[in-house]
Structure 1
Amino acid sequence: MSDATLRTASPARGPRLADTPWRRFVRRFRKHRFAVIGLLTLLVLGVLAVSAPLLTPYTYDEQDFSIIGQPQPPSRAHLMGTDELGRDGFTRVLYGARISLLVGLFSALIATGLGVLVGALSGYYRGHIDTLLMRFTDIMLSIPLLPLMILLSGMTRPGILLLVCIIGGLGWMGTARLVRSQFLSLREREYIEASRALGGSNNRIMFRHILPNAIGPIVVSTTLAVGSGIMLESALSFLGMGVQPPTPTWGNLLNSASQWLSGAPWLAIFPGLMILITVLAVNFLGDGLRDALDPRS
């Protein structure tokens, strides 16, 4: 058979792309439709929050004195109505997204960093270090989280930075237990023994060899912690213990709306919907990441 015949008989095939871990992750993640929707929702919310000054002609504390005293329903001029001080609801919800998303994201990063450090030390060294750190973690878990945050917030009247530190500093325990379990399992693997035999230092083994192999559960835990941070910030602000007016957050918008629930329900509906949508999107994203990062899927 001639070369021309062989070329005709064999279908033309382009170069195949290598099936890398990243491609497998993307393929698994795209199968989780709710996770994709959650990611797109969070991206849209982030863009809206950052672009707030460009999307509305008002500032968050600008007042219309012609309608002051009584909240106004949604209209073409005010898409989400106004509050009793004549401030535009849409503007305040967008600016509130900035604070709520910022607090949720950075408090989750702080909680994850502390949890990874405590869990890594506990799971790798075991013995007395493990006992000391895990008993301290158990003590922290036994304290009701929200009342403790209310107590600290009431004592300090925190700004945004301090509120982030309070939420992040009291939310690391679940991540610490998760990381500890991963380190206890991974430290016994053959490649860890080989690295130890070759003279690898403890820090190198912990953070160069073990931690990258435990990154999947850590990423999922961080994602879900963002939702928890947003909920805690909203709860504290609703109770008047978080970010103080006139700076808007979704929580203190709900607090301000509580006295107008019967006459102006839109003041509570819109920030409440934003909290609901954001937390659902974060949870969907976390579920998708968990499935995509699971090597058994």
Structure 2
Amino acid sequence: MADLSLTPATVAPPQSYGRRALRRFLKHKPAVAGLVFLLVMGLIVLIGPFVSPYAFDAQDFTLIGSPGPMTSAHWLGTDELGRDALTRLIHGGRISLAVGLAGAIVSTVLGTLVGALAGFYRGWTDTLLMRFTDVILCIPTLPLVLLLSGLFRPSPPLLVAIVGILIWMGTARLVRSQFLTLREREFVEAARALGAGGARLMFRHILPNAIGPITVAATLAVGSAIMLESALSFLGFGIQPPVPTWGNLLNSASSWLSVAPWLAIPPGLCILLTVLSVNFLGDGLRDALEPKD
């Protein structure tokens, strides 16, 4: 008689949330490509100034007067003041990326704080903070930044503060919605019953459970900050020459566009590809951290 005994099926252990999120992220090819590009760009702007044979403000006086062509000594040519264009592009990338990243951090911290207070305490606190947020949203960002930059000569730290203060509203609304939902969950009620105060409930129990959407918002804020800084520098209200940024490199190259387009194309491509990569990365993180299935 046949043996009818059944062997227990081998059940794969459940994967952790982090492993599932990583698997979903790796399936998002544009996000992976964007992450690789940003890592490579970050490595270039970090080590590039140390390996370049030129300083960003060093001049070749034999080339002053008009942009120089691309040669083996100057891969992207020289500008009208005889400065190496590739070195200035790399150094400008360091400034633009640093301002974008720091501005995004400022906006994320500020938006998270405002959204957390509004969503947790509700009532008049929510009304006051959200009406203030709505007022800031009604003000066109670029004209306000131009006004502030015109009143104060923007150094990199001041530009970071201006950019960060003016792009936090989306993060605040997102965090508020997350806190309104999470504050009613059972684990928050249990912590409240055990005597946890408001600050502990917000930052120890609720905030870690909202970190996914905040991460996505912070990633997208980097692209917004880079675009805003580049626009300000292009219009002449950002960081001033001789310190290069991608925006003011575009501004100075616009005068020579018909005779030396190789000065304008690289910084424009860097801005485009960096912002595109950041947006792809944000999309991938959203799909990985907030799956729809």
**TM-score, normalising length: structure 2:** 0.94
> How many Å apart are 1:269 and its aligned residue?
0.5
Q: Counterpart of 1:283?
A: 279
Q: Counterpart of 1:167?
A: 163
CA offsets 1:136-160 (integer angstroms, 9 cap, x no match): 0000000000000000000001100
Question: How far apart, in 1, do the equivalents of 2:188 and 2:120 lie?
Answer: 11
> How many Å apart are 1:17 and its aligned residue?
7.2
Q: Counterpart of 1:207?
A: 203
In the alignment, which of 190, 200, 207 is matched to residue 194 of structure 1? 190
1:18-33 matched pairs, under 5 angstroms: 19-33=15-29
Q: Counterpart of 1:265?
A: 261
Question: How far apart, in 2, do the equivalents of 1:158 and 1:289 lie?
Answer: 33
- Whether the 8 Å CA contact 2:22–2:288 is kept in 1: the answer is yes
1:27-66 matched pairs, under 5 angstroms: 27-66=23-62
Question: How far apart, in 2, do the equivalents of 1:258 and 1:144 lie?
Answer: 26
> How many Å apart are 1:246 and its aligned residue?
0.4
> How many Å apart are 1:294 and its aligned residue?
1.2
Question: How far apart, in 2, do the equivalents of 1:204 and 1:54 lie?
Answer: 45
In the alignment, which of 134, 137, 145 is matched to residue 138 of structure 1? 134
1:208-287 matched pairs, under 5 angstroms: 208-287=204-283
Does residue 154 (structure 1) correspond to residue 147 (structure 2)? The answer is no
In the alignment, which of 109, 112, 116 is matched to residue 113 of structure 1? 109
Question: How far apart, in 2, do the equivalents of 1:257 and 1:181 lie?
Answer: 45
> How many Å apart are 1:295 and its aligned residue?
4.1
4+ residue segments displaced more than 2 Å: none
The alignment's C-alpha RMSD in Å is 1.7
- The residue identity in structure 2 corresponding to 1:108 is A
**TM-score, normalising length: structure 1:** 0.93
Q: Counterpart of 2:3?
A: none
Classify the secondary structure of the residue corresponding to 1:154.
Answer: helix
In the alignment, which of 84, 89, 100 is matched to residue 104 of structure 1? 100
Question: How far apart, in 2, do the equivalents of 1:137 and 1:258 lie?
Answer: 37
Structure 2 unpaired stretches of 5+: 1-6
- The residue identity in structure 2 corresponding to 1:266 is W
> How many Å apart are 1:209 and its aligned residue?
1.1
Percent identity over paired residues: 66
- Whether the 8 Å CA contact 2:49–2:90 is kept in 1: the answer is no
Q: Counterpart of 1:68?
A: 64
> How many Å apart are 1:195 and its aligned residue?
1.4
- The residue identity in structure 2 corresponding to 1:219 is T
- Whether the 8 Å CA contact 2:236–2:248 is kept in 1: the answer is yes
Q: Counterpart of 2:120?
A: 124
Q: Counterpart of 2:179?
A: 183
- The residue identity in structure 1 corresponding to 2:19 is R
Which sits farther off after the overlay, 72-81 or 167-176?
Answer: 72-81
Structure 1 unpaired stretches of 5+: 1-8
Q: How many residues align?
A: 286
Classify the secondary structure of the residue corresponding to 1:51.
Answer: helix
